[in-house]
Structures are given as structure tokens and as C-alpha cells.
Structure 1
Amino acid sequence: MKLLHTSDWHIGRTFHTHSTLAHLRTVLDALADAVREQGVDVVLVAGDVFDLSMPSADAMTLLSDVFRSIRDAGAQIVVTSGNHDSITRLGFHAEWIRHAGIHVLTQHHSLDEPVPLTDEHGPVHVYGIPYLEPSLLRHSYLDVDLRTHEQALAFAMQRINADRAQRGGRSVVLSHCFTADVAASDGVERDITSGGLDLVPTSVFDGPDYVALGHIHGRAQLSERVRYSGAPLHYSFSETDKLRGGWLVELDADGLADVTWLDLPVPRRLVQLTGELETLLADAAHAECESHWVKAVLTDQVRPMDAMRRLQQRFPHCVALEYRPSVVAEAIAASYGDRVKEKTDAQIVGEFLAYVRNGVGPSEYERGLVHELLIEQDLREVPA
């Protein structure tokens, strides 16, 4: 049996206020093509199908279209919910659409009820663990200590492993969580709790032949059989260098046989350009970036006026701007009053300009202008 492990589609998410629906459609259409070309039997989506708990009509339409394309390509679909999903909305009509080969697993009470699949080697049981928030779960299991995500996932896997032992055969688990073996990074969907990140040890997932994880937006291999696939699109500039795609997982008669990476297209690449504004606007080396999403980091000593408008004239998809001067004035411990004591008015103006412009004092033109203004002020103050 061949499975394609994906996660974190985040249908409906925006990128710096821009809709990502068209780009995501392109990627997921390519995914359906890959299902056909690679002979994939099952597509796994390990949580965060939608970006919002109340997805728009356009987001719902995209999901329906993609599910149809994947089914037409010959694969069944197994989905579980993430922290961004509404289990009610994502799971609506789950009972009926499973007859069409689309299995949506969002309920904690059915953790040990797998999707039964078969191939020439026998049964494969696919279990889905929806995102389990301990504070919402514990009231249903009063005799179980469920204060942390580790306890919630351990409880889920205990039920799953007990069911696996009875059924026999091979097994796959989907889960949306943050494991202790993945270092915190800017691309991580964080679960902030009192005391920091609520981590789950990878050992919690001992047992199944393959564990398909979601929650972080970059691929990661925690062991041969436990992996994150990451998101199909880049959703922040911190993800620029992370590959987009999914894991192709092959099961044979004995369990996990092979895992390979499948690249998916990147409709619009991300790039960060650093330099002075005039250089970024004129440098021919940046020509290929004119069709990319662009984040500009300006290093000018004096903050340029109207920088974003000028950048967008060359880079239409410039969506982020940061001012980071290459030289920063050294911090001075003395108070402003002490620094200007016994200085002339012209020197005070010069000190102020250097302070607000990161060490760049007045130009010759500005010195002349200040001199003229001060003379004019002195003349006005002379008694008639």
C-alpha cells in the first residue's frame, strides 16, 4: 500500500493580507496529479485542513474540489482535525462521505475506531487522533489525569495500541501535535500554555508502522517511522528555505518498507532582499525576484521616504518592509541635557540630527540652512 502524508493545508489563510486560495489550488491540483502518477492508495492529512474555525464558502469549495480530484485520481482520503479546525464543521457529514472513500476523524470518543483498509498483504488500520486540548477533554474522562498534551496523547495511544493488539495487521496513526524532538522555530504552530510549550515525547507514538504528524510547517524526520510533512505552501518568510511537498510511504507485508520525499510546486517563491533602497531598485541581479513575494530589509542610514511604494513599482509582490540601518549609533549613557550643555544652537541641531538618524549628522547643505535660519532668528530678536 502506498500513502501520501500531508498536513497543515490551512485553506483560507492569507499571506500579508493576500489570499492564498489560488496558489493552494495549484499545489493541491498537482498533489492530485501526483496521486495518479505515483499510484497512491491513500492521502493522509494530519490536521489544520482549514485556517479558521469558520471557513469561508470559497474555502469550503476548494476543499470539496480537491477531495473530488484526489478521489478521481484513485486514492482514498483520511483526515483528522488540527487546532485551527472546528471539529464540528470539518466533521460535518463525516458519516456519509466515508461511503465515498473520504474519512474525516475528529471525535475523541472514536480514537480506537480505525479506518479499515486492505491491500494484497491484508488489512491496514488507519487511526486518527484529532487535536486534543486537555482542558476540553478531561471532563469526558473524569478518572484519567489529563492536564497536559503528553497525558492526552498517551491516553489516546494507549487506546489505539490496545485496539491494534486485538485487530492485528499493520497500522498507521495521524496526529496533530508538537513533539519534544522538534526545536522551536518561526514556522511552528505554537500551543502556548502556562509554563511554555506543551511538548509530547516521540516515544508516545511507539507501536504503529507509521505515524503521520502535523502542526509544524517544515518537514521533519523524528525517526524512520515518525515524521512531519510540513505545509504545502509557504505561509511566512521564516519558511523560505523549507521544502514543500509530502512523504510517500510504502507498506509491505511486514510493515514500513520505504519512505521518500515528493516535491510539490511553489506557485510564487519567497525572497528577502537586503540593502539600500536605491541599490535594490537598480541592481539587475534582482530581476528574477520581480515575480516573487518580497520582504525588503533596508540598510540606509536615513530612513527613505515612500519606500514601499517605490519598491512595489519594481517588485509588485513586495509585502513586507523592515528598516535595519547598517550602522547604528552607539548608545551614550549621558543624559540629553548633559550632552548639549555649553553647546551652540547649531551644534545642538547637529547632535539631534545625528541622534535620530543613527549617527548621521547634518550635510553641508543642512549646516548652511541651519546657519541661515539661526541668523534670521537672531535678527528677529534684536530690539528695534
Structure 2
Amino acid sequence: MKILHTADWHIGKKLQKHELKEDFDLFIEWLCATIKSHEIEVLLVSGDIFDLANPSSEARTQYYKALLKLRNLNCKIILTGGNHDSPAMLDAPQEILRNLDIEVIGGLPKDISQTLIPVKNKAGNLEFIVAALPYLRDTDLRKGNEGVSYDDRLEAIREGIASKFNAAAEICKTSYPNIPVIAMGHLYAAGIETSDSERDIQIGNQAAFQASQFGEYFKYIALGHIHKPQRVNALVPTFYSGSPIPLSFSERKDEKRVLILDTSKSWEPESIPVPSFRKLIRISGNLAQLTDNLYNLPDNDGLDHLIEVVLKEPKYDVQKIYQFDQLTSQFEKNGYQIVKNFTDFDENLQGTSALYESNQQLEDLKPKDVFIKLVDQQDLDQEDKQDILSAFDEILEEVQNPINS
């Protein structure tokens, strides 16, 4: 049978307040075409279906529309919950979706055997079992009296993860002898690369799970949580498919992909690149370089490319900050949007606490005295300094003596 592994859809995700709804819709269109062309029979989605535990109505609508499109391809669908997902929300329509041959395991059930999903071929014969383990929360892994110290808690979590996968394997050995088993998981495995958009799980990712603890019983382990696609050093083929679309600027260079297995040939997957629907661009330099690079971007008639702009200068300069703000706020070019900007000075401006002797108290300082010291750090001529101080005097007067309307 042919199986497609994907994960980390993060429906409802916003990148710096910019909606990625269109990106996901285009991915689903491409995914449907890929399932058709490769004659995929089983789709595995390993967690983080949504970006928020309480997704918006628009995100939920997008989720159900995507499932219906995929269901129309006569493909069995198995989804598990991730650390971003609400188990209760995913599990609520479980019975209805099961009648559509869509299996959803939002949270770990009390009986772990309920995570075991038999998959039959077109002839009706049992082909393999999927151990669809969702994200395992601390309450799933530790007893109330375990983990008194921080290190104890970490070890309890690692042992808890291993015990759940081992329990699923033991049931399969007894109930489905000689039948291949695929495991799904949503966790942080040791020794892999992360990106900025992955929310910490299991005590800040310190409880990194050693992939060797998966053992060698499972034929393939389909993981989610890490957005950069990569193989895990385990005893059996174990892969993060990665997120299908970039979710942060740190992922802008990732080659997004899905993984396809053909069980008649091998348990090693084939990597299928997901097309780039929009680019995430990072531009850095001084003001002149930024201006030149921004206005010489090539034409784009697809989804708006999103830009992160970084002003890099040797010395802190309030005038350059103002000019940078004007450049980014007034930038207009079809097919592009600046969604993030910040400054990076080699010599940062001292904070007010560093401007005064340690024996001076905050209540002893006058606002204008503090401001004058800050202005004196700037590379300004006397006329500009006087203009700035005059403007400060006007603002201070309004604050201290407001006019009642």
C-alpha cells in the first residue's frame, strides 16, 4: 500500500499577524493532486492540526473543508493531536468522522488499544496496524508522586513516553502477530534541528526523547512537532515530515516536503517537495542597502512575499531609526509586504540605568535631565539637538499640565 506522511498543518496560523489561510488552501489543493497522482491509500497527519487550542470558526471551517476534499479521494485518513491542539476539540466529532473513514485521536485514551487502527487493503485483507499516538502530555506520562525534583520529572517523562510506545507494541504483538505496525508520534527527539515557530513541549524540550527507545519493533515511525524535515537516528526508519508551509522566517530556507512509503517495496520513504506558494525574505543592511534591495525586488504575481527587514548600523542613531521607520512604513511594491522590522546596532544605546551613578535614586532624577543625557549620546549637530529638546519641552508641558476638554 502507498502511505503519505505529513504533519504540523497549523491551521489558523498567523505570521506576524499575516494570515496564512491562502497558503494552506493551496497546499491542500496540491496534496489532493499528489494523492491522486501517486495513488495514495492512507494519509497520516502527525499532530498540530491547528495552531491554537481554541481555533477560530474560520480555521475550523477550513479544517473540515480540507477533510472533505481529501475524503473524496477514497483515501483512509488518520490524524493525531499535537501540543498545539485541544484533545477535546479534535475528539468531539470522532464518531461522525469515523463513518467517513477518517480516524482522529486527539488525546491519549485511557485504553491505549484504542489508538491501534487496523488498515485493510482493497481486497479486504489486513495490511498493517497504525499505532496513532497523539502528543503525550505530562498528565499522561507521570504519576502524582513521581518527579519530585526537576531531573526526576524529566526522567519520568522520558520513561513515560517509552512506556506508551512499548505498551502499544506489546498489544500489537499479542493481538496482531506477524502484522507490520507503523507508529505515529508528536514529540521532541534528541539531536534534531528546530526552528523559531516550534512551541516548547515537555518542560522546554529538555526532556528530549532518545529515539533508540522506540526500539526496533515498528516498521516506520511518522513524527510531528519539528518543522524542519529530517531523519531521526533510530533503529527503524523514523522521520519528521516537517510542516508543509514555512511558519517563521527561520524556516525560509527549508525545503518543505511530504513523505511517501510504498510498503510493497520498502519502509524507507520517498521525499516529495511541496511547492513554495510564497517566499519569506529577510533583507538586512544599512539604510542605503535596504532601500536599494527593497525597490529592486523582482516582480511577483502570486501570493504576496513576506519580508523581514533588519537595519544594521555601527552606532545607535535616532535619525536613522526615524528614516528606517519611514522607509518600512511607506514601502509599496506589488506582490510584497513588510511584516517585521527591527534594528541591530553594533554599539547599543545605554539604558537610563547606565547613565547615572549607582548612588543616585530614580526619584531624584528629573525627566529633562535624563532626556538631555540620552540626546548627548547622539551624533547630532547643535541645531538638531535644540529642535529635539524644544519638542520634548512641549510634550512634557502637555503631560504635566493637560488641558481639560
| Greater alpha carbon shift after TM alignment, 131-140 vs 46-55 | 131-140
Q: Output the CA distance in 2 between the equivalents of 1:141 and 1:99.
A: 41
Q: What percent identity do the matched residue pairs reach?
A: 22
Q: Output the CA distance in 2 between the equivalents of 1:230 and 1:108.
A: 26
CA contact (8 A) 1:149 1:199 kept: no
Of 232, 246, 253 in structure 1, the residue corresponding to residue 258 of structure 2 is: 246
CA contact (8 A) 1:12 1:51 kept: yes
Matched, 1:355 2:386: no
CA offset at residue 354 of structure 1? 6.9
Pairing 1:18-33 to 2, within 5 Å after superposition: 18-33=18-33
TM-score for the superposition, normalised by structure 1 = 0.80
Equivalent position of 2:118 in the other structure: 116
Output the aligned Cα RMSD.
3.3
CA offset at residue 47 of structure 1? 0.6
TM-score for the superposition, normalised by structure 2 = 0.76
Letter of the 1:124 counterpart: F
Equivalent position of 1:85 in the other structure: 85
Q: Output the CA distance in 2 between the equivalents of 1:18 and 1:370.
A: 38
Specify whether residues 82 and 52 from structure 1 end up closer, same or farther in structure 2 by C-alpha distance, changes over 3 A only. same
Specify whether residues 146 and 352 from structure 1 end up closer, same or farther in structure 2 by C-alpha distance, changes over 3 A only. closer
CA offset at residue 289 of structure 1? 7.3
SS in 2 for 1:109: coil
Q: Output the CA distance in 1 between the equivalents of 2:54 and 2:248.
A: 22
Q: Output the CA distance in 1 between the equivalents of 2:286 and 2:387.
A: 32
CA offset at residue 83 of structure 1? 1.0
SS in 1 for 2:221: strand
SS in 2 for 1:149: helix
SS in 1 for 2:263: strand
Equivalent position of 2:134 in the other structure: 130
Letter of the 1:150 counterpart: R
Letter of the 1:89 counterpart: M
CA offset at residue 355 of structure 1? 2.6
1:3-28 alpha-carbon deviations (Å, 9 max, x no partner): 11111111111111122122211111
Q: Output the CA distance in 2 between the equivalents of 1:15 and 1:258.
A: 33
| Greater alpha carbon shift after TM alignment, 20-29 vs 181-190 | 181-190
Specify whether residues 156 and 352 from structure 1 end up closer, same or farther in structure 2 by C-alpha distance, changes over 3 A only. closer
Structure 2 residue runs without a partner (length 5+): 147-151, 358-370, 389-405
CA offset at residue 265 of structure 1? 2.4
Matched, 1:221 2:231: yes
Q: Output the CA distance in 2 between the equivalents of 1:198 and 1:372.
A: 56
Structure 1 residue runs without a partner (length 5+): 339-348, 374-384
Pairing 1:10-159 to 2, within 5 Å after superposition: 10-106=10-106, 107-113=108-114, 114-119=116-121, 122-138=126-142, 148-159=156-167
Specify whether residues 94 and 351 from structure 1 end up closer, same or farther in structure 2 by C-alpha distance, changes over 3 A only. closer
CA contact (8 A) 1:137 1:146 kept: no
Equivalent position of 2:342 in the other structure: 322
Equivalent position of 1:198 in the other structure: 207
CA offset at residue 316 of structure 1? 4.3
CA contact (8 A) 2:157 2:202 kept: no
Q: Tell which structure's C-alpha radius of gyration is larger.
A: 1
| Greater alpha carbon shift after TM alignment, 177-186 vs 60-69 | 177-186
| Greater alpha carbon shift after TM alignment, 69-78 vs 208-217 | 69-78
Aligned length: 348
